[in-house]
Amino acid sequence: MIRYEIRKGEERDIPALMTLIKELAEFERAPEQVCTDEKILLRDWKEHQSFDFLVAEINDRVVGISLYYPRYSTWNGRCYYLEDLYVQPDARGMGVGKALLLATVEEAKKAGAGRLDWQVLDWNEGAVRFYKSLGAHIEKEWWNCKLVIS
């Protein structure tokens, strides 16, 4: 059985984090939308504390990430947002994604959050099944909105 480790991300993980973010963007058919780089990630994580992240490692190789940050709900109070959850294809089916998600839930609980929110693409049927198997509610009545600030 292949063993993996879930741990808090560290500065040395920023290059792997960037690589997996790009892989996720490629999978989501939007590689051109990635405008960050390692320098921006490091600044926003270390100096601005804009996000935190967990990594999954197999044999000292980062194979999965969970990137998350706090947000606030006027209805529910403190909650967390899961920006990215990604496991490389060769590490799937071993429980890595589930372990990353559950570890993210634990981080949110430790911070006093009562809810974890995220998005999933409607065509990503595998992810939808995965999230539902863990008890997630997939909302259909709310639409996502974006306003690009330049």
Query: Is 86 noted as a catalytic residue in this protein?
Result: no
Residues 6+ apart with CB under 8 A from 112: 78
CA-to-CA distance for 148 and 137, rounded, in angstroms? Answer: 28
| Active-site entry in 4, 68, 80, 131 | 131
- The DSSP output letter for 103 is H
Task: For residues 47 and 51, give the distance between their C-alpha atoms in angstroms, rounded to a whole number.
Answer: 10
Element spanning 128, H or E: helix 125-133
Q: How far apart are CA 146 and CA 26, in angstroms?
A: 20
H or E stretch including 78? strand 77-87
Tell me how far apart the alpha carbons of residues 140 and 142 are, in angstroms, rounded to a whole number: 6
- As annotated, the active-site residues are 131
